[in-house]
Chains A and B, each alone.
Chain A
Amino acid sequence: MLKDITIGQFFPGNSPIHRMDSRIKLLLTVAFIVMLFLAGNIYSLCVGIAFTILSYVISEIPFKMILKSLKPILPIIIFTSILNLLFIRTGDVYWEWKIFKITEDGVDTAVFMSIRIICLIVGSSLLTYTTSPIDLTDGLEKLLSPLKKIKVPVHELAMMMTIALRFIPTLIEETDKIMQAQKARGADMETGSVFKRAKALVPILIPLFVSSFRRAEELAMAMECRCYHGGEGRTRMKQLKLHLVDLIAALIVAVFIAGVIAVNIIAG
Chain B
Amino acid sequence: MSVIKAEKLSYIYGENTPFRKVAVDNVDLDIDEGEFIGVIGHTGSGKSTLIQHFNGLLKPTSGSIYIDGEKLWEDKARLRAIRFKVGLVFQYPEYQLFEETCYKDISFGPKNMGLSEEEIDKRVRETARLVGLSDSVLEKSPFELSGGQKRRVAIAGVMAMEPKVLVLDEPASGLDPKGRSQILGLIRDYHKEKKNTVMLVSHSMEDVAKHCSKILVMNNAKIFCYDTPVNVFHRAEELEQMGLAVPQITRVFNRLRAMGLGIDDDVYTVSYGSELLLKKLKDRQEGAL
**A residues neighboring B (CB under 8 Å):** 174, 177-178, 180-188, 202-203, 206-207, 210-211
Does B90 lie within 8 Å of A184, measured CB to CB? yes
- Give chain A nearest CB distance to B23 CB in angstroms: 14
In whole angstroms, what is the CA distance A98 to B70 when docked? 66
Which of A185, A188, A203 touches B158 (beta carbons < 8 Å)? Answer: A185
**Closest CB of chain A to B147's CB: distance in Å?**
12
Stretch of B38-46, B92-100, B233-241 with 4 or more beta carbons under 8 angstroms from chain A = B92-100
Among A184, A186, A187, max chain B CB count under 10 A is at A184
A-side binding surface: helix, strand, loop or mixed?
helix
Q: How far is the CB of A77 from chain B (nearest CB, A)?
A: 31
Contacts of A184 in B (CB 8 A): 55, 57, 83, 87-88, 90, 158
CB contacts (< 8 Å) of B157 on chain A: these are: 185
Q: Which residues of B contact A187 (CB under 8 A)?
A: 108, 112
Chain B residues within 8 Å of A206, by CB: 98
Question: What is the total of A-B residue contacts with beta carbons within 8 Å?
Answer: 55
**Complex Cα distance A180/B167, Å?**
14
Taking the complex as formed, is B80 at the interface, i.e. its CB lies under 8 A from any CB of chain A?
Answer: yes
Kindly report which residue of chain B lies nearest to residue A182, judged by CB atoms: B96
- Say yes or no for B161: interface residue by CB 8 A criterion: yes
With A180-B52, A180-B90, A181-B93 already in contact, the answer to whether A186 and B98 are too (CB < 8 A) is no
1/0 per residue, CB under 8 A from A, across B50-63: the answer is: 00100101000000
- Bound Cα distance A187, B98 (Å): 13
CA distance A53 to B87 in the complex (A): 57
Asked if residues A185 and B90 are in contact (CB atoms below 8 Å), the reply is no
29 A-B pairs within 8 Å (CB atoms) are namely A174-B95, A178-B95, A178-B96, A180-B57, A180-B90, A181-B88, A181-B96, A183-B83, A184-B55, A184-B57, A184-B87, A184-B88, A184-B158, A185-B96, A185-B157, A185-B161, A186-B80, A186-B84, A186-B108, A186-B161, A187-B108, A202-B98, A203-B98, A203-B108, A207-B96, A207-B97, A210-B95, A210-B98, A211-B95
Q: Is the Cβ of B161 less than 8 Å from the Cβ of A188?
A: no
Contacts of B66 in A (CB 8 A): none
Interface centre among B55, B84, B95, B158 (most CB of A within 10 A): B95
Tell me which residues across on chain A come within 8 A of B88, comparing CB atoms.
Answer: 181, 184
Task: List A contacts of B161 (CB < 8 A).
Answer: 185-186
CB-defined contacts of A186 to chain B, threshold 8 Å: 80, 83-84, 108-109, 112-113, 161
Q: Which A residues lie within 8 Å of B98 (CB)? A: 202-203, 206-207, 210
Rank and list the top 8 A-B pairs by shortest CB-CB distance, nearest first.
Answer: A186-B112, A206-B98, A181-B96, A184-B88, A185-B109, A181-B90, A203-B98, A207-B98
Total count of chain B residues near the partner, CB < 8 A: 22
- Chain B 67-103 interface 0/1 with A at a Cβ cutoff of 8 Å (1 = within): 0000000000000100110011010010111100000
Q: Which of these, A180, A181, A202, A210, contacts B143 with CB under 8 Å? A: A210
**A183-B83, A184-B57, A207-B98 known; 11 other A-B pairs, CB under 8 Å?**
A174-B95, A180-B52, A182-B96, A185-B158, A185-B161, A186-B83, A186-B84, A186-B109, A187-B108, A188-B112, A211-B95
* A202 closest partner in B (C-beta): B98
Chain A residues within an 8 Å CB radius of B112: 185-188
The residue of chain A having its C-beta at the shortest distance from the C-beta of B111 within the complex is A186
- Give the Cβ gap from B97 to chain A, nearest Cβ, in Å: 7
Bound together, the chains give a CA A182 to CA B88 distance in angstroms of: 10
Whole-angstrom distance between the Cβ of B139 and the nearest chain A Cβ: 18
Distance in angstroms from A96 CB to nearest chain B CB is 52
Which residues of chain A have C-beta atoms less than 8 A from B55's C-beta? 184
Smallest Cβ-Cβ distance to A200: which chain B residue: B112
Q: Which residue of B lies closest to A180 (CB)?
A: B57
Q: How far is the CB of A240 from chain B (nearest CB, A)?
A: 31
Q: How far is the CB of B143 from chain A (nearest CB, A)?
A: 7
Q: Output the nearest chain A residue to B112 by Cβ-Cβ distance.
A: A186
Contacting residues, chain A, for B80 (C-beta < 8 A): 186, 188
* A residues near B90, Cβ cutoff 8 Å: 177, 180-181, 184
Cα A188 to Cα B79 in complex, Å, equals 11
Q: How far is the CA of A210 from the CA of B100 in the complex (A)?
A: 13
* Closest residue of B by beta carbon distance from A181: B96
Chain A contacts of B97 at CB under 8 A? 207
- Chain B, residue nearest A185 (CB): B109
In the complex, which residues 15-53 of chain B have their Cβ closer than 8 Å to any Cβ of chain A? 52
CB neighbours (8 Å) of A203 from chain B are 96, 98, 108
> In this complex, which of B80, B87, B143, B157 has the most chain A Cβ atoms within 10 angstroms of its Cβ?
B80
When C-beta atoms are compared, the residue in chain A nearest to B114 turns out to be A186
A204 CB → nearest B CB, Å: 8
In the complex, A188 Cα to B114 Cα: how many Å? 12
- Min distance, Cβ A180 to any Cβ of chain B, angstroms: 5
